[in-house]
Structure 1
């Protein structure tokens, strides 16, 4: 890899009097001290690539542009800093769409650069030309097209500002070929940038004092209050604030898949996942007399198809995006606020009553801890199952035992995310579980793990992916090997598009499967062929050893091919492998 993101920016004395637009782009990026950047070049951005080489920008070749966005997205989620990537025009730009929508829906701050056609020759059947601006615009928070070379530094700064303000999101900067190749005598002062713009959120809003006081009174009077945390808690960096409020007044906490880690899953106050897949949380929500929903959009899965919470429940909704209020549930009180600022404000507003509330709520808190302990005991046979092929619950239990407290599990969309969301236990507050639930595309597990490893060097990173998702992106093992990233990829090998096959089984019965089976593949051999350490596990008793061996491989990625059940009746996420009656016409995602 080239020089690290922490290198000093180029000083004014080193900036030439005149430079190409591409070099100006590289220098303003260098000043922002971004994380590692990934892309696949083309003629349009060649001056940028040349300058990146000369000034030591940490830029790396990717094998698929979609994975470049996935890496940037996971990097942003784990680091809290802006993720950056680039693509050439046409197919390079359109390959970004899936990753951009993930970042847009998930609130991940990205700045993405795309080359475009020479403006003198646009709409004259230029090679690879498309209406890419129109294609990309709805997939990002804002699209900025550079029409004058002298405005390039200004507009790149604008991109960072938009990406890190409000609900963070991806900003695309579209750069025509002539802008990138032309030259201009830039003022060196234009290459100074506020480093705060490279972190998110760069700006925070706080709730109105009267609203905060009302929310505090509602929580103080409640007998069975419950906090429901979504991914906004992590976008805000509010996990410590959530943990502090919970402990101050014995406030139990349930979470969505993206909100996992709002408090540690092993904390006595944790009620686990709520919504479609829950442990004890849905019943607690039903019994609660006041719900504090924090950084959560209350989407379909979190609400179990909009049935949780039930209509009429008293809800305080804390979010920094006012448009989310009332979208799926009408709250009794709206707190328009950054999650960290809102939770900190609530803790302060309750401070003089906190000890009394905590004492009064101790019995309730003990009840939650007892119910969680009872749940864990009830599923122990699944968690320790000796079944072959391997039971998913046993596999996740071994991951729980092996993962250090500061480890990061990145879960691919669908099958892996649901199982991981239900069974993976974070051991401390913070973003230790990274699912791509903004768009839930499969193929995220490997590049997401790469982004997490780059964002958190020294932390153990595992990417959990299905065989179908891995098939989409296996070429990025070469990228991970090239960068010597010491991460572990677990391929859940069920020789199927497991989630789809399980749903087909539920709806249409056994042997009614269409286009959901894959060929048997030994993915350990695939990894070996790509120059990585590949391990195949067919017995549950070998899981712990394989994980331990992968953790000692510090020279590059390790892939563990885990052979799990082929029975679609036992594929659906849920430690009890529950059967669900699905009515015809009732779509299940």
Structure 2
């Protein structure tokens, strides 16, 4: 969203014929750029004017910082001759933005713009990726500078991630190989770093050649196909069978995962006695809070390939019985959940909705899950049928409101396949202006609204912690978001009967422009979450410390 400070930037965009999309809110612009970067592996870009434009970016930038997503934001700033004189909309925005990004690049000399832009992209893509802000003071922005053609050269290694791959220490790799070779029940825990590294092939080879099951975080879904016999689903706060396997494992290989609160079920997983190999591009994440027996600092793809090669020096280990056991457990879990996935209950239950989404979205499609309880249901039940980013969730910050702008960004990155967003009624009301954006740019996205007339996650937690009826500031007015979509000129539908879900989703996905399918789901707070939240099971009291 433009302002006077960046008018020359917009004029340059117009003269050069670049594609620029006006977004209803800078936070949404950062979210859309974040989703674009997740899908393409190339830095997403966005811009904001000074003051409220810059400060509105913060939530989106932290999402990218915590998620390891490359992003470059151009931000206007006050004229340097008048700064600190209470210029219109002026604030200490650099101090506000600094903890939300990897680096701030301030342009003090206009002749250095090409150099500093290259610097921004290099930092955004190097090591663990993240967001970088280019700050452009008004007088520099409106200045005129002469450049040679060579000044505009691009460093190709900074145009996509991983920018430069690093390999773990060879001795550490051998220690890790010794641990894995000796294990009878090893398990791989795959995080979002597998996607950042594009480490799908070496991960699948290691998994298949050595019979090692793979569990994933919400961000790591698609590290291996969820339909693979050795894929055991999500682990952590909610789990199919993975948490039990973690507790029974005699060696864990953690790849591109920070082992944060959700992945560890509030730091109760894994057991302190379980040997851990941790492979991560961020050295500071290895052993952050738990003991690590072999720390591998480096790129996930390189580290997995080196580890697989090192295992070749060990005698082959048969884990056929382990694989059979895993398959039996998966089959039992599927049989126990099949009834809910086919339920005709009204209001509609979440397992039925997720099952219908899985049936409606083709293999080349993408599901974008907003923060909140909808993402946990999708993380638990939705199967990615191929390796790669077919499931996008804003787990860096888990901010509500990502669903609509994230779907727009994902669709711009993935025009060849359908993009479906899953958001809540609270999430859409935060960013409903994005429907105008989607219509204006004619983005063929389908937004599925989980409508429970509540801030569902909060209401469910209040129910779990304080009991039935103890709800405060978690109820919303019941809205028909199909009608809201039609008011914006988009296709809109409302579904109350589960029998109508399939046809409504098919019609929406086939529509050439933006669509909204509003789905009335359960209002019972006891049924809003996939299971008992670990925070409700172990509420933190004053003075408590994590185990």
TM-score range, shorter chain: over 0.9
Q: How far 1:577 sits from its partner (Å)?
A: 10
Whether 1:326 aligns to 2:283 is no
Whether 1:142 aligns to 2:103 is yes
Q: How far 1:166 sits from its partner (Å)?
A: 0.5
Unaligned runs of 5+ in 2: none
Contact map agreement 1:243 1:429 (CA 8 A) in 2: no
Out of 389, 398, 408, the position equivalent to 1:431 is 389
Whether 1:101 aligns to 2:62 is yes
Contact map agreement 1:299 1:328 (CA 8 A) in 2: no
Structure 2 partner of 1:455: 413
Q: How far 1:583 sits from its partner (Å)?
A: 4.5
- Using the alignment, how far apart are the partners of 1:466 and 1:105 within structure 2? 22
Structure 2 partner of 1:112: 73
Contact map agreement 2:48 2:76 (CA 8 A) in 1: yes
Structure 2 partner of 1:253: 214
Contact map agreement 1:240 1:430 (CA 8 A) in 2: no
Q: How far 1:584 sits from its partner (Å)?
A: 7.1
- Using the alignment, how far apart are the partners of 1:146 and 1:579 within structure 2? 45
Whether 1:86 aligns to 2:47 is yes
Q: How far 1:430 sits from its partner (Å)?
A: 1.2
User: Secondary structure at the residue paired with 1:118?
Assistant: coil
Contact map agreement 2:266 2:535 (CA 8 A) in 1: no
Structure 1 partner of 2:350: 392
- Using the alignment, how far apart are the partners of 2:224 and 2:254 within structure 1? 14
- Using the alignment, how far apart are the partners of 2:534 and 2:359 within structure 1? 24
Output aligned runs, 1:492-531, within 5 Å.
492-531=450-489
Out of 212, 224, 238, the position equivalent to 1:277 is 238
- Using the alignment, how far apart are the partners of 1:332 and 1:344 within structure 2? 19
Out of 291, 299, 306, the position equivalent to 2:267 is 306
Q: Which runs of at least 4 in structure 1 moved beyond 4 Å after TM superposition?
A: 576-584
Out of 150, 160, 180, the position equivalent to 1:199 is 160
Whether 1:63 aligns to 2:63 is no
- Using the alignment, how far apart are the partners of 1:185 and 1:578 within structure 2? 59
Unaligned runs of 5+ in 1: 1-39
Q: How far 1:57 sits from its partner (Å)?
A: 1.2
Normalising to structure 2: TM-score of the pair?
A: 0.97
Normalising to structure 1: TM-score of the pair?
A: 0.90
Output aligned runs, 1:216-231, within 5 Å.
216-231=177-192
Structure 1 partner of 2:224: 263
Alpha-carbon deviations, 1:528-583, whole Å to 9, x = none? 000100011101111111111112112x1110000001111111134x99996554
Structure 1 partner of 2:336: 378
Q: How far 1:369 sits from its partner (Å)?
A: 1.4
**Coordinate RMSD, CA, aligned:** 1.6
Whether 1:559 aligns to 2:544 is no
The count of aligned residue pairs is 543
Contact map agreement 1:113 1:173 (CA 8 A) in 2: yes
Q: How far 1:352 sits from its partner (Å)?
A: 5.6
Contact map agreement 1:270 1:369 (CA 8 A) in 2: no
Out of 167, 171, 179, the position equivalent to 1:210 is 171
Structure 1 partner of 2:433: 475
- Using the alignment, how far apart are the partners of 2:380 and 2:463 within structure 1? 22
User: Secondary structure at the residue paired with 2:244?
Assistant: helix
Structure 1 partner of 2:11: 50
Alpha-carbon deviations, 1:464-491, whole Å to 9, x = none? 0000011000111111111111111000
Contact map agreement 1:408 1:433 (CA 8 A) in 2: yes
